[in-house]
Every structure is written in C-alpha cells, then in structure tokens.
Amino acid sequence: AQSVTQPDIHITVSEGASLELRCNYSYGATPYLFWYVQSPGQGLQLLLKYFSGDTLVQGIKGFEAEFKRSQSSFNLRKPSVHWSDAAEYFCAVAAGSSNTGKLIFGQGTTLQVKP
Amino acid sequence: SAVISQKPSRDICQRGTSLTIQCQVDSQVTMMFWYRQQPGQSLTLIATANQGSEATYESGFVIDKFPISRPNLTFSTLTVSNMSPEDSSIYLCSVSSPGLSGYTFGSGTRLTVV
C-alpha cells in the first residue's frame, strides 16, 4: 500500500534562510506526488505537483521540489524563506494508477520562521 | 481548476445531534472525497463519493456514522451522525477529475461538538 512519511514534525528557520522539507513515499510504480500548504485556519493550497517528466518541479510562492526515484523522495525547497511561509506543509501521493484516485497524506511538517 | 463551495464553514453542535456538510463544485467532476483533519493532525480520508452509487469508505469509517450523498457530478454531502466530542475536527471535501491537473480542496468545515 502507498504511504508517505514526513520525517520532520517541526522545523524552525530564520527569515531569509534556505528551506528543505523532506518527504519519502512508498509506491511501486511511478507516483503522482503533491505538496500542499495549510496556513492557520485556512484550507489547503497546492504548491506543486509531479506527474512525470522533468524531476525538478517549480511551484508557486518560489517553492520547488525534486523527485528522486532512487531515494523515493520528493523534497520541497525554497532558497529564501519569508515570514509568511510559516504554515503546515503536507506531502501527498495519489493512490492507485492514476492522478485522480484518493490522496494519501504525510503527517505534516510545521514550519516556524524566526525574524 | 475547479472552485469548491463548502458549507457551513464552522459550527458548534450538541453531542448526540447530526450535522450535514455540503460541497458544491462549479464544474462536473469525477471523483469527490471527504477528509477529516483532527486537531493538530494530518488529513485522513473518510470516503470516496461516487456519483450514482454508494460511497466507498476507508477502514475505520462506517456509513451509519458518516452517510454520504452524491446526487450528481457537482454536489455531495457528508453527514456526521450522533456526534460526540471526539468528532470535533475539520472536515474537507476534495475533487479530482481527469480534466483537472491535480486536486482541489474546499475551505473546510470546522466542527466543535460540546
């Protein structure tokens, strides 16, 4: 069965510093992978997704993620964090063989940004 | 991408009562999903709402507790029945469709049971 692991429950970075949030997935075939952000009291916003092709994916708000099949990872990165990036981040994989099946979410990583 | 209207946005309910949450999409979609997010937790899928057939429930969730309707390709409801304080969570609907690039989520219903 597919699963997603986000090893870091909580991360604190200084404003302007670089950021990397880790995500590991378990799936036999080519996965459909997503990163979502949830600000306090808000719904989920899609940051980026990987379906196929270029393994480096660009998203909104200056985020990018790299799919590494050999490491079963899909880590999210941002070169310079802004205070407004403080939020909960979720990695997810689409179950099944399409990109329209149910999503399985990781546990989430809470990002705190220090001034 | 699709636009979802989810209602109500929040509610405070008495234990033992039921609440029905509505999810309206501005376009026809194939798959609709209902998730629960307990306080401080990640999202857990409750069920997949299939148009014209019964919903498919995940392990740990049953139809008697979370009945779902899907009368057409743009609308679904989730009812939380016989509520207890443990049902206090955010409930979110989500849609996907072969024509959409990914998944869209409603803004969620924040439910507090007292």
Q: Tell me what the pLDDT averaged over chain B comes to.
A: 93
Q: Does A5 touch chain B (CB under 8 A)?
A: no
Average pLDDT over residues A59-69: 96
> How would residue B99 be classed by pLDDT, with cut points 50, 70 and 90?
low
Q: Where are the domains of chain A?
A: 3-114
DSSP E strands in chain B: the ranges are 4-7, 10-13, 19-25, 31-37, 43-49, 56-57, 68-72, 75-80, 89-96, 103-105, 109-113
Q: Nearest residue of B to residue A99 by CA position?
A: B102
- Alpha-carbon gap: A41 to the closest alpha carbon of chain B (Å): 9
Question: Which residues on A lie below 8 Å from B55 (Cβ)?
Answer: none
Average pLDDT over residues A17-33: 90
Under 8 Å CB pairs connecting chains A and B tally to 48
B107·A42 Cβ contact <8 A: yes
Convert the pLDDT of each residue in B26-76 to its tens digit. Answer: 999 888 999 999 998 999 999 999 887 889 999 999 999 999 999 999 999
Q: Tell me what the pLDDT averaged over chain A comes to.
A: 91
- Amino acid B88: pLDDT: 97
Tokens at residue B86, please?
């443990």
B42·A90 Cβ contact <8 A: yes
DSSP string, A62-91: G-EEEEEGGGTEEEEEESS--GGG-EEEEE
Of B41, B96, B108, the CB nearest to A100: B96
Q: Which residues pair with A33 in a beta bridge?
A: A50, A93
Backbone phi and psi for residue B21, each to the nearest 5 degrees, phi listed first: -105, 135
Q: Does B80 touch chain A (CB under 8 A)?
A: no
- Using a 10 angstrom Cβ sphere, with 0-12 exposed, 13-18 middle and 19 or more buried, the burial of residue A76 is buried
Q: Does the pLDDT at position A78 exceed 90?
A: yes
Convert the pLDDT of each residue in A41-50 to its tens digit. Answer: 788 999 999 9
CB B3 within 8 A of CB B104: yes
Q: Which residues pair with B68 in a beta bridge?
A: B78
All domains of chain B, ordered by start, with CATH? 4-113 (2.60.40.10)
Q: Does B105 touch chain A (CB under 8 A)?
A: yes
Smallest CA-to-CA distance from A10 within A79, A107, A81, A105 is with A107
B102·A44 Cβ contact <8 A: no
Which residue has tokens 């609709």? B32
CATH class of A3-114: mainly beta
Of B42, B48, B101, the CB nearest to A106: B42
